[in-house]
Amino acid sequence: MCGMPQHPDRSSPVTGAAPRRPDASMSLLTNVMEHSLDDGYAEAAARRGEVGTSRLPTALSGRLWLAAGLVLAAIVVTLGAVQARVAAPAEAKERQKLADRIRTETTGADKLQRDVDSLRNSVSAEQQAALKHRGGDGNALPELLAAATPVRGTGVELVVDDAKEASQGGSGGPRESSGFADTGRLRDRDMQRVVNGLWACGAEAVSVNGQRLTALSAIRAAGDAILVDNKPLAPPYTVLAIGDGERLSTAFRNSADGQYLRVLQSDYGIRASISVRSELRLPAAPSLVVRYAVPVAAQPAPAGGRPAGSGAGNGKGSK
Least confident segment among 64-78, 105-119, 166-180, 250-264: 166-180
- Residue 127 vs residue 203, higher pLDDT: 203
Report the amino acid identity of residue 63: R
Q: Are 208 and 159 in contact (CB under 8 A)?
A: no
In this prediction, residue 174 has a pLDDT band, given cuts at 50, 70 and 90, of: very low
Please, which residues have CB within 8 angstroms of residue 217's CB and are 6 or more apart in sequence? Answer: 228, 229, 285
Strand partners for 212: 207
Kindly state the average pLDDT of the residues 77-87: 78
Q: What is the pTM for the complete model shown?
A: 0.47
Q: What is the pLDDT of residue 8?
A: 47
- pLDDT tens track for 110-129: 899 899 888 888 887 776 67
Computed from CA positions of residues 117, 123, 128, 133, in that sequence, does the dihedral angle turn out positive or negative? positive
Distances (CA, A) of 210 to 54, 150, 205, 233, 249: 102, 11, 12, 10, 20
